[in-house]
Chains A and B, each alone.
Chain A
Amino acid sequence: MWPICELYSAGLLVYAVAALAGLTAHLRKTTAAWIAPLLCYAAIAAAALEFSASCGALFAGAAFDWSLPSGIQSIHYGVCLDPLSAYFNMALSLLAVCVGVYSVGYLRHGAASRRPGLFCCFFNLHLLSLTLVFTASNIVFFLIAWELVVVTAYFLVVTDHESTEVRRGGILYILMSRGGTGLMFLGFLLLASAAGSMEFQAMHGSGEKLSPVLGASAFLLLFFGFGVKAGIIPLHIWLPAAHPVAPSNVSALMSGIVIKTGIYGMARVFFDFYGVLPVWTGMLVLVAGVVSALLGVLYALMEHDLKRLLAYHSIENIGIILMGFGSALLFRSFGYPQLAALALVAGLFHTLNHGVFKCLLFLGAGSVLQGAGTRNMEEMGGLIRRMPWTALYFLIGAVAISGLPPLNGFVSEWFTYQGLLAGFGTTSTLTRMAFPIAGALLALTAALAAACFVKAFGITFLALPRGESAEHAMEAPASMKTGMALLAASCVVLGLGATWFIPIFAPITQRALGVQITQQLVAGNSLVLTAGSVRNGSVSPLMLALGLVALGVVPFALWLAPGRKSSRVTGPSWDCGLPGLTAANEYTATAFSKPLRMIFGALFRPRREIQAEFDVSPYYPKAIHFESEIEPTFETHIYEPIWTAIQAIAARMRKIQTGSIHAYLAYIFVTLILLLLFGVRG
């Protein structure tokens, strides 16, 4: 018997102790060099404990349930590692181990190194609260943990608070998160009133007990509440503002797992609290997924700030996950639990996969940022020579996120496609068309993502350095490389070993949908993944990888065949005969995405300004100033009007804020009377 309870509690305890130690160090104004590494090791140890507890819960299948009384009746601090919680907690602790290893070296420099104690305190507290969010087993405790995540994340984001951009990102994040929590809170209350309990266990299937209108409202409140956290469009604007300005290890955690708390919440609500939902809910989720995926990647393409580009890709991948969830909801409404399980597996597997490769890419961006000192891709280039290992790991992440075989991104996108394809067998006219169209748009998204990562990797790491700092960039220290290597290895293992990994979804689909599909998803001596059966379609990432390696014989044979004696010399780039290639000749990130900017011009509304200075004649410009920008559609058309309205209302409200104590006493008195009247009536 696996000591799940002991491992889990020990993990929490280590996090808590490390957080306290960090706080103590900060209060004593200790900034010794050993503090940050020590507390990072503590976080790694805690994460490893949590990882083994979650794996134990997943594989042993034993749900572990534990609670502490709070002194208030009917509310306790309960935790439960049921399969869904254990899965998300496993993903969290896997990423936390890798990020922890990376942080040992990363925290030697940058804004966090000035207050290592405080940073590590929040870092451990953040991981602790994330663990609690994934494992809390009643609403109150869940919301407390949820808010703790928001607050600790805020403090981590504003580590470098001297910069205005950082403070602005942090404020936007916390404001929008609070809004989301408000929506969730109402939704939870509606569901809890139907279940008559705040316990998750009791709320299983409580959605049906609500009247259709209330049930739908609770669904919408929870979907948009969690949607803010997940970053679905149009609730995404905080994400590209907050993720890039945080220290890179924090960005990695936020994009890798913090936004997944929204996905966890949705999975919990859609498949646990609601047994059955009307068709339009599935359509809504599917459409939100498609829109987020497509717009996310299109905005990412326009970025030349490496970390903002990655942040927009998080929105894209949340979209892909929601396409899986949306199709699962639709299949469940039409009564195809097997297909629903397939689509749910696709969404859940992509959740982990995205966590792994997005974490890897953000850590890579962190190394680049530290090595080359800039986030602007237009000043980078040639880093593959100065930072060979970072480049290799970033390339693995880029291939994985582009959904290319045989890595993990391909596998989960393949399942998503298969789910969407199977949708043609449903009965309703609208969904029969919607599924394949969504599939086609997923193909567009994936292809655009590949284009975007050709840009991100090519402009950052290849060719000649475009700036002074890129020329003298330094490779990351060993611990940072190790953190990235672990994640890169996970990308490979989760891709090639997917057939052995898929069975862990069996208890999750069993509880959510009442079917275990995973036996059907794996065939041929655990070598082949199928879409329900071999006849529907199959793929084997492992065999494809072996095939690629084995076929390598052919080009080598061709190479040797004609009895080659020829030379291989290195020379300057030919460049169509132009001598003296410099970095100024190279394509830039802006130039690379220009065709797509023009093709999707209706969305971007690009604006550009060119000013040339002439010396003698207009044919010989002395200097050219070029400026190009795209319209931030959501900010200008949605958020600015809302902001203006809030300010107008606030200006009116100011009249009742007299600042006089008597007026406030009067308000309190009137409120009290009203409440008493209300209480007496009730």
Chain B
Amino acid sequence: MIEKALAVAFQIGLVLLLSPLVTGFNRVLKARAQTRRGPSLLQPYRDLYKLLRKGMVIPDTASWIFTATPFVLFVTTLLASLLIPMVSVAAPLSLFGGVLAVVYLLALGRFFLALAGLDTGSSFGGLGSSREMTISAIAEPALMLAVFTVAIGAGSTNLSIVAQSAQGQSWRFLAPSQMLAFAALFIVLIAETGRIPVDNLSTHLELTMIHEAMILEYSGPYLALIEWAAAIKQLVLMMLLVNVFFPFGLSADWSPGAVLFSLVLFSLKLLLLSIVVAIVEIGNAKMRLFRVPELLAIAFVLGALALVSTFLFQG
């Protein structure tokens, strides 16, 4: 019981600490690639600290939904992160929900965020909500197909068991089904975390905003919670990608040596994935909104192919 609580606390701490770093690293990479100096790696921490101390303005049109949303979003995202193996192959709460619970907890947060966008009455909020719900809806089938491929391979939707069974066959990530599913999930990651070419988090141009449009009216500590939740969500999806498809080095127990080794390996995997995301962002221009469904259709086809190849190569 105590060990369980410690594992939960450890993973919460790690997720909270690591998530702004991933965002910071992404910004540094992009800045370097564009030969800018860019902000420091630690800038997201400073931003969060500053926002948490600032005062805030609540729009007079807003209801309690506006106040509740930052908390709901933060808590659901954090809980989702506890269902995924991070450094130990046994995720702290994996018994209480598998990959479906992860997807639907994120959906619960998104549901409230979209409501908060509508709550302020500004046209930008509605615009953001409408686009966010549209894109997440058409990303969902591709996400599920990729997830199903993995779950079928392992015979379980419990992510710890999925990671365990993948560890058993060390070269499994080279199987066509796994590679295709990874590609599908990667596209979903780009779309769900608001990366170029789907969304651009560093713009406030009304024609292109999606995520930023919904949170336009937030300020101060509420904004900090929402930004942090967005960073955690990004980490959650990246954890899903690296630890489910490449579960090397996930420690089987909680001995300090194994945990440290696993932590180093996990950071390396995250680093690699962040570099790939940054390369995609640098190499592409933002798409028109109505081109995004085509991108997600590609992800859907990749997911379907992943299933077909599971079927072909495993019999």
- Contact residues in A for B236 (Cβ distance below 8 Å): none
Q: Report if A25 contacts B (CB, 8 A).
A: no
B107 touches A528 (CB 8 A): no
- CB–CB A450/B97 < 8 A: no
Contact B121 A464 (CB under 8 A): yes
> Is B95's CB under 8 angstroms from A524's CB?
yes
- Nearest A residue (CB) for B151: A421
In the complex, the answer to whether B56 meets A566 with C-beta atoms within 8 Å is yes
Q: Which residues does chain B contribute within 8 Å of A583, judged by CB atoms?
A: 121
**B10 at the A/B interface (Cβ < 8 Å)?**
no
A444–B304 CA distance with the chains assembled, in angstroms = 14
| Contact assessment for A540 and B137 in the assembled complex, using a CB-CB cutoff below 8 Å | no
How distant is A260 from chain B, measured CB to nearest CB, in Å?
Answer: 25
Q: Is the CB of B59 within 8 A of A440?
A: no
Known: A540-B95, A587-B130. A446 touches B140 (CB 8 A): yes
Those of A603-633 within 8 Å (CB) of chain B: none
Does A448 have its Cβ within 8 Å of any Cβ on chain B? Answer: yes
Q: Chain B interface mostly helix, strand, loop or mixed?
A: helix
Are B52 and A573 interface neighbours, CB within 8 A?
A: no
Given contact pairs A458-B115, A591-B130, A596 touches B137 in the complex (Cβ within 8 A): yes
In angstroms, Cα B248 to Cα A654, docked, is 80
A679 within 8 A of B: no
Interface flag for A404 (CB, 8 Å): yes
- The 8 A CB mask of A211-255 against B (1 = contact, 0 = none) is 000000000000000000000000000000000000000000000
Stretch among B27-35, B142-150, B195-203, B255-263 lining the A interface: B142-150
A468 within 8 A of B: no
| Segment touching B, from A104-112, A337-345, A429-437 | A429-437
CB distance from B101 to the nearest CB of A (A): 5
Q: Which of A536, A564, A569 contacts B157, CB < 8 Å?
A: A536
B143 cross-chain contacts in A, Cβ below 8 A = 443
Interface magnitude class on chain B? 35 or more
* A506 vs B266: C-alpha distance when bound (angstroms): 45
Q: Which of A327-335, A544-552, A656-664 contacts B (4 or more CB under 8 A)?
A: A544-552
Contact A594 B130 (CB under 8 A): yes
Q: Once the chains bind, are A571 and B130 in contact (CB under 8 Å)? A: no
Point out the residues of chain A lying under 8 angstroms from B149, CB to CB. 436
B137 interface neighbour in A405, A447, A538, Cβ under 8 Å? A447
Given A443-B144, A448-B137, A564-B52, verify A537-B151 contact (CB < 8 Å): yes
List chain B residues, Cβ under 8 A from A168.
none
Given contacts A581-B121, A599-B138, contact A528 B95 (CB under 8 A): yes
The answer to whether B49 has its CB under 8 Å from any CB of chain A is yes
B-facing residues in A535-573 (Cβ within 8 Å) = 535-540, 543-544, 547-548, 551-552, 554-555, 558-559, 561-564, 566-573
User: Closest Cβ of chain B: how far from A551's Cβ, in Å?
Assistant: 5
Q: Is there contact, CB below 8 Å, between B122 and A581?
A: yes
Check if B47 is an interface residue, CB within 8 A of chain A. no
Q: Do the beta carbons of B96 and A569 come within 8 Å of each other?
A: no
Which of A64-72, A262-270, A410-418 makes up part of the contact surface?
A410-418
B172, CB-defined interface residue at 8 Å: no
Q: Is the CB of A587 within 8 A of B101?
A: no
- In the bound complex, how far is the Cα of B141 from the Cα of A442, in angstroms? 8
A437 touches B111 (CB 8 A): no
Picked from A402, A442, A592, A598, the residue with its CB within 8 Å of the CB of B111 is A402
Q: Is the CB of B111 within 8 A of A567?
A: no
Q: Is there an interface contact between B98 and A562, defined as CB atoms closer than 8 Å? A: no
Task: Determine the chain A residues whose CB is within 8 A of the CB of B127 once the complex forms.
Answer: 587
CA distance A591 to B60 in the complex (A): 23
Q: Is A399 an interface residue (CB 8 A)?
A: yes
Is the beta-carbon distance between B107 and A576 smaller than 8 angstroms? no
A473 interface residue (CB < 8 Å to B) = no
Residues of chain A contacted by B49 (CB below 8 angstroms)? 562
Q: A417-B100, A535-B158, A566-B54 are in contact. Are A459 and B118 (CB under 8 A)?
A: yes
B221 & A559 in contact (Cβ 8 Å cutoff): yes
C-alpha gap A536/B16 in the complex (Å) = 30
Interface flags for B100-123 (1: CB within 8 Å of A; 0: not) read: 110111011011001101111111
A439 and B93 contact, CB distance less than 8 A = no
Kindly list chain B residues whose C-beta atoms are within 8 Å of the C-beta of A385.
63
The answer to whether B75 and A535 have CB atoms under 8 Å apart is: no
Report yes or no: B124 in contact with A404, Cβ–Cβ below 8 A.
no
**With A569-B58, A596-B134: A450-B107 Cβ-Cβ less than 8 Å:** yes
Task: Please give, as numbers and ranges, the residues of chain B lying within 8 Å of A595 by CB-CB distance.
Answer: 130-131, 134, 289-290
A186 beta carbon closer than 8 Å to chain B: no
CA distance A554 to B52 in the complex (A): 13
Interface contacts beyond A558-B52, A570-B57: sample of 12 additional A-B pairs, CB < 8 Å, sorted by A:
A418-B157, A444-B141, A446-B140, A450-B110, A454-B115, A454-B133, A459-B118, A543-B93, A559-B221, A559-B225, A566-B54, A581-B121
Can you list 20 pairs linking A and B with CB atoms under 8 Å apart? Answer: A410-B104, A414-B100, A417-B100, A439-B148, A440-B300, A440-B303, A443-B141, A444-B138, A447-B136, A458-B114, A458-B118, A463-B120, A528-B95, A535-B161, A538-B97, A548-B76, A551-B78, A573-B62, A574-B122, A586-B121
Binding site for B on A (CB under 8 A): 382, 384-385, 399, 402-405, 410, 414, 417-418, 421, 424, 429, 432-433, 436-437, 439-444, 446-448, 450-451, 453-455, 457-459, 461-464, 524, 528, 531, 534-540, 543-544, 547-548, 551-552, 554-555, 558-559, 561-564, 566-576, 581, 583, 585-587, 591-596, 598-599
Instruction: Give 5 nearest A-B pairs by CB, closest first.
Output: A587-B126, A458-B118, A537-B157, A463-B121, A451-B133
